[in-house]
Amino acid sequence: MNLGVFGGTFNPVHLAHLRVAEEVREAVRLDRVLFVPARLPPHKRSVEVASPAERLAMVRDAVAGNPGFEVSDLELRREGPSYSVDTLEALRSGLGHGDQLWFLLGADSFRDIHTWHRYREIFRVADLAVMRRPPDLGHLPPPPGMAGALTATDGGYRHDSGHEVRFVPVTLLDISSTQIRRSLAEGRSVRYLVPDAVRARLRPCPGAGPLQDGDND
């Protein structure tokens, strides 16, 4: 089993989330990509977040029909902040010895991973598929504090645990959940930004806040 884990707020889930997950699924030859909506994302506590039940329902609607995609409510059932390392450890414990666990994350998240809870353990629990979108395809250095544990390879890095960090180029789709919330707040259409089944669940959200450059939640 080659299992990919794609976590996020998904507030709301949109077409760019789905497309990059599909591209990584093919590139890394994953049997499944597991979408894991976060309960309380530690880095986004200032953002107005739809309820866990609403976001879970939207992600389930979004992935319906793709046999390579599934959804887990693991983080929504767990109290407190949603830490990736806890989720990965829980999923790893349910896999067999020969199974492989891949953690999908963007290049910006990889750059900032040293700020995450127990971040060094992430590299020991899972392989990392780091999604690179043009024009951000240049050299991506190891995160601070990780240079001694990572050896450069043709496709990324090898961690001293044996796990891989693989850079996966993906299509640039300039869509963000922040952009969608802003459009809803202003009464503008979000057609073709989200799946139709997700669009049917969305409602105007006043107070969405300013659109942040590079926000791809």
Q: Quick: pLDDT tens for 139-181.
A: 899 999 999 999 999 999 999 999 999 999 999 999 999 999 9
CATH of the domain at 76: 3.40.50.620
Which percentage of the chain shows pLDDT scores above 90?
A: 82
At residue 59, the 3 state secondary structure works out as helix
> How far is residue 111's CA from residue 167's CA, in Å, rounded to a whole number?
13
Is the pLDDT at 42 greater than 90? The verdict is: no
> How far is residue 19's CA from residue 152's CA, in Å, rounded to a whole number?
28
What is the count of structural domains for the chain? 1
Q: Report the 10 Å Cβ neighbour count for 10.
A: 25
Is the pLDDT at 12 greater than 70? The verdict is: yes
Q: For the chain, what is the largest distance between any 2 Cα atoms, rounded to a whole number of angstroms? A: 51
Average pLDDT for 105-124: 96
The pLDDT score that the predictor gives to residue 137 is: 85
Which residues constitute the domain of residue 170? 2-175
Q: In this structure, is residue 75 part of a structural domain?
A: yes
The pLDDT score that the predictor gives to residue 211 is: 33
> How far is residue 34's CA from residue 111's CA, in Å, rounded to a whole number?
23
Is the pLDDT at 44 greater than 90? The verdict is: no
pLDDT bin (cut points 50, 70, 90) of residue 207 is very low
Where is pLDDT greater, at 46 or 4? 4
CA-CA-CA-CA dihedral for 99, 118, 48, 17, to nearest 10: -30
Q: Nearest CA to 106 among 90, 130, 128?
A: 130
Strand partners, 130: 105, 167
Lowest mean pLDDT among 10-14, 53-57, 131-135, 210-214: 210-214
**DSSP H or E stretch at residue 197:** helix 196-199
Q: Report the 10 Å Cβ neighbour count for 105.
A: 20
The answer to whether 120 touches 149, Cβ cutoff 8 Å, is: yes
The answer to whether 150 touches 158, Cβ cutoff 8 Å, is: yes
Lowest mean pLDDT among 8-17, 160-169, 181-190, 206-215: 206-215
Average pLDDT for 190-206: 88
At residue 113, the 3 state secondary structure works out as helix
Q: What is the pTM of this model?
A: 0.90
The pLDDT score that the predictor gives to residue 216 is: 40
Q: In this structure, is residue 138 part of a structural domain?
A: yes
Is the pLDDT at 200 greater than 70? The verdict is: yes
Q: In this structure, is residue 108 part of a structural domain?
A: yes
> What's the distance, CA 41 to chain centroid?
12
The answer to whether 1 touches 36, Cβ cutoff 8 Å, is: no
The pLDDT score that the predictor gives to residue 81 is: 86
Q: What is the mean pLDDT of the chain?
A: 91
Q: Report the 10 Å Cβ neighbour count for 9.
A: 20
Q: Nearest CA to 163 among 92, 112, 68?
A: 92
Q: In this structure, is residue 196 part of a structural domain?
A: no
Q: Nearest CA to 166 among 110, 92, 96, 97?
A: 110
Q: In this structure, is residue 148 part of a structural domain?
A: yes
Q: Quick: pLDDT tens for 56-113.
A: 999 999 999 999 999 999 999 998 888 999 999 999 999 999 999 999 999 999 999 9
> How far is residue 121's CA from residue 84's CA, in Å, rounded to a whole number?
10
